[in-house]
Chain A
Amino acid sequence: MTKTWWWKFSLLAVTVLFSALYVYPTIANLDLETTKFPVKQKMNMGLDLQGGVYMVLGVDFNRVYKEVVDRQGQSMTEHFKEKGIAITSATLVRDASAVAEDPQVEVKFDAAKTNEMKEALKKEFLTLRLVDDKPGVLRVGISREYKNDVREKTLQQSIEVIRNRIDEFGVSEPSITSQGTDRVVVELPGVKDVERAKDLIGKTARLEFKIVNDGVLSEGQLAGMIQKAEEENKITYVEGKTAFSEYAKKMNDLLRDKIPANSEIAFERVKTGLQKDAPSTRIPYLLFSKADVTGDDLQDAGVSLNPERNTPEVTLTFNPRGAVGFDKVTGENVGKRLAIVLDNMVHSAPVLQTRISNGRAVITLGRGNHDQMMQEAKDISTVLRAGALPTQLDFLEQRVVGPSLGQDSIHKGSIASLIGSALVFLFIMFYYKKSGVIAVVTLVLNVLFVLACLVGLEATLTLPGIAGIALTVGIAVDSNVVIYERIREELRHGKAIQAAIESGFQKAFRTILDANVTNAMASIVLLVYGTGPIKGFAVTMLIGIVTTLFTAVFACKVFFDLYLRGLENKGAKTISI
């Protein structure tokens, strides 16, 4: 054989070896925790195969807009009061002209100041837009830019609220993602109790500010107590398995008589690494149980840059009632830490520097580079907003698959795919004889490559995905058929065997490429617009198209060259095709 052939063969052999390495753990069902096998990846099974809950949630933006525009109206009143323009009323428009998606506020004031007000509004309230004006009466709605901003932030905070409760599900690989601009998709593999999941997700977020009870126990003492309680009562917290609230409740019950009566233990979760899936540790806090200020008192929160140091910081604005409460808390607790607690989970505990009376506070962040600080500021402000502007989530879609049904699907799907493939293999071998055997070998390799790619790319296998693999076999056969029919034609035109094979492969290549590219486009559209299991189908089809090009054009040629060499050695004048 020629040197080039050996190169090609080696490449193919290495690819096959690697693919086999990737597929083996799944086929042999290795325990990834204990195995010494070099590849520690298994096929991700979709919810329809392993069972679990899939939910699509819609965010009720109209409620948020209404709340936002109403609050803007209040802050306008205050703003202009400072400037000497008395606003007599700022009320939400409730007449027939009011639209749900575009709530508006009507502001009434001294008619003589109309022009001044209009000017000021344009300059100082970029978040609002003027809808209508009459002397002494202005009607305002949310500006387009601000609306988009609100929308984006609201979606983000909805995801954050669910993620905050993720430990409650006892799921190892939950997924919470946004879909489009107004939806959240929650996938909880292995969860059976959809009602409980719905209760947890649908619950309105509760934000509380609690003072850290630092004087009684040191951090080390508290951590030691918890560790001791864990050991004595054989409680282990396993991330992804233990429901968090149960764990926290147990700890509080066990240590009830060791901590002051007016206090409770709460935890903050901190990632131990920078990666998204890095494990997290729990930092315990001893908090005063009474929440002095809650999310209801908070008007808004956001990220801004410190004008002097140019570092990101979080700004908080309290509503008038909240400002009073916050003034009291800060006045009494200067020097202490104030914990930000969302749904009983501590998110941050900044130190109170001074008494704050005007309801406007800033949280400056610790060290770190600009990007890290920016991220942290965004995270904290998202948590704060989640409490300040709680969103209502509607359940748009829920799909639950029981684990036994999933097993059944895997079983039936695989059997059907095997039978289908076997039928095709027999058909091709019958039709093309020895060349047919080559085709079958390439098809088997093709399936191996598809499976390996699925594992390697951490794609998810779904039931339609299994169908996609079977269909890939059907479509990959096409490439073989196109090539073989070409070779036959060339032979019929009287070409020598080798020449016929060369030109057969060459001429067929463009056809195969065109056909597969258009096929791929349809799959990409499916991938972009499809949901859940259908995405799984598109993924396997796309991978299948790439592996088909590799096997039918490259691998098949390698085997053909080998076959041809054998024929030449025997001095045969015909080829079995």
Chain B
Amino acid sequence: MFEIIKPTINIDFMAKRKLWAGLSVAVILGTFILLNTKGLNYGIDFTGGAEVQVKVPSGWDIGKVRNALSDGGLQNFKVQQIGVPADSQFIVKAAGDDKSLNSVSAKIGDILKKEVKDGESKIERVDVVGPAAGSSLRMSGILSMIYALICILIYVAIRFDSRYAPGAVIALFHDVVIVVGVFVITQKQFDLTVLAAILALIGYSNNDTIIVFDRVRETLHTNPSLNIITAVNKSVNETLGRTILTSSATFLVVFALWAFGGKALEDFAFTLMIGIVVGTYSSVFIASSLVVFMTEFQQRRAVEAKTGGPGKTKKSYTVRPDPKFSP
């Protein structure tokens, strides 16, 4: 048997759980700060605008394309080269209101037709999104993410119990925020494709978490007297081989999509690559830590309820068993 992870492995993941939690909270807070200061580089799907992919005769460089278009009377636009220079393909991005956007592709087509011989230039792709459509796409994107999270919260709460559900959802939230954070830092364009990848990631990363949770549940079921920390540690270790294997396999696929799938799949695959790494981390470190936290919290509450805890009178002091050592 070939094994990446020896079955005897026993890493104490939970010992440093406050460190992991702190680290993640810091990264999440950092992302929110950056979101408000630097902001995401939204694509036209969300801001509205026009994007036209053109093929021009070989030998044209970005400056020539830019000059040709501005001489032709196009205003308020940016040019960007895509692929290898031999493809001589460029993306022209233009901003404006509904009316001017609607005529952008026709205008670019006309300008190029005047500049070069027939058939030497070609409009490969046009995306025009009006400002109103952009904001509604953004809204439905955010909503879809919230709905996905709520569905998962309910399912986990029903199939497992209330101790697990917050862990699963917070871990997913964590993954989403960090992936968004990567997009803020790299200022890569954030568009509908990236959003779709993030939603796919929610499904994938939750898969990981569920498998760890499933094992925790089983461990506690066969051995109810086990301390929660020991149980979680045992479960994470037992599923570690699987976690790493699956993540590597999926990563390989996504990597291939990123490397060979062309421009159209690049961003989608990039998002998933980041997501798989973050999702694996969160399943092992964050989701499981939250189960420990929730269990301890509930135990404390149960003890407080029995002893009439601090809930009733604010200044009462109680001596209670340390849940870490209680059976």
Binding site for B on A (CB under 8 A): 48, 56, 58, 194-195, 198, 394-402, 404-405, 408-409, 412-413, 415-417, 419-421, 423-424, 427-428, 430-433, 463-464, 466-468, 470-471, 473-475, 477-478, 481-482, 485, 488-489, 492, 507, 510-511, 514-526, 528-531, 533-534, 537, 541, 577
Contacts and interface: CB of A to CB of B under 8 A. Distances in A.
Contacts of A198: 102
Contacts, number: 236
Contact of A481 (B210, B249, B254): B249
B255 A420 contact: yes
B202 to A, nearest CB: 5
Nearest to B239: A485
B144 A526 contact: yes
Which 10 pairs, one residue from A and one from B, show the smallest C-beta to C-beta distance?
Answer: A420-B256, A522-B203, A474-B250, A412-B262, A529-B144, A416-B261, A396-B133, A420-B253, A416-B260, A400-B126
11 contacts: A194-B126, A396-B130, A408-B262, A412-B262, A413-B262, A419-B256, A420-B254, A464-B265, A471-B272, A475-B204, A529-B140
B15 interface: no
A510 B214 contact: yes
B264 interface: yes
B265 A427 contact: no
Contacts of A482: 211, 242, 246
Contacts of B127: 397-400
Interface in B235-266: 238-239, 241-242, 245-246, 248-257, 259-262, 264-265
Interface in B134-173: 137, 140-141, 143-144, 147-148, 151-152, 155-156, 159
A495 to B, nearest CB: 14
B105 A400 contact: yes
A191 to B, nearest CB: 12
Contact of B53 (A58, A405, A421): A405
A484 to B, nearest CB: 9
Interface in B189-220: 192-193, 196, 199-200, 202-204, 206-207, 210-211, 214-215, 218
A464 B255 contact: no
Contacts of A424: 249, 252-253
B126 A398 contact: yes
Given A198-B102, A526-B196, A529-B140, A396 B129 contact: yes
A470 B203 contact: no
Interface residues of B, number: 72
Q: Which of A397, A428, A507 has most B Cβ within 10 Å?
A: A397
Nearest to B256: A420
Contact of A478 (B207, B257, B272): B207
B301 interface: no
B98 interface: yes
Given A395-B102, A467-B261, A467-B269, A475 B125 contact: no
Given A413-B262, A475-B250, A530 B214 contact: no
Given A423-B252, A471-B253, A514-B214, A522 B199 contact: yes
Contact of B242 (A466, A481, A514, A531): A481
Contacts of B140: 529
B28 to A, nearest CB: 21
Nearest to A519: B203
Given A431-B2, A470-B253, A529-B141, 12 more contacts: A397-B133, A399-B125, A400-B126, A400-B127, A412-B264, A427-B248, A433-B2, A474-B251, A475-B207, A511-B215, A521-B148, A523-B200
B155 A517 contact: yes
Q: Which of B106, B133, B147, B239 has most A Cβ within 10 Å?
A: B133
A554 B178 CA distance: 37
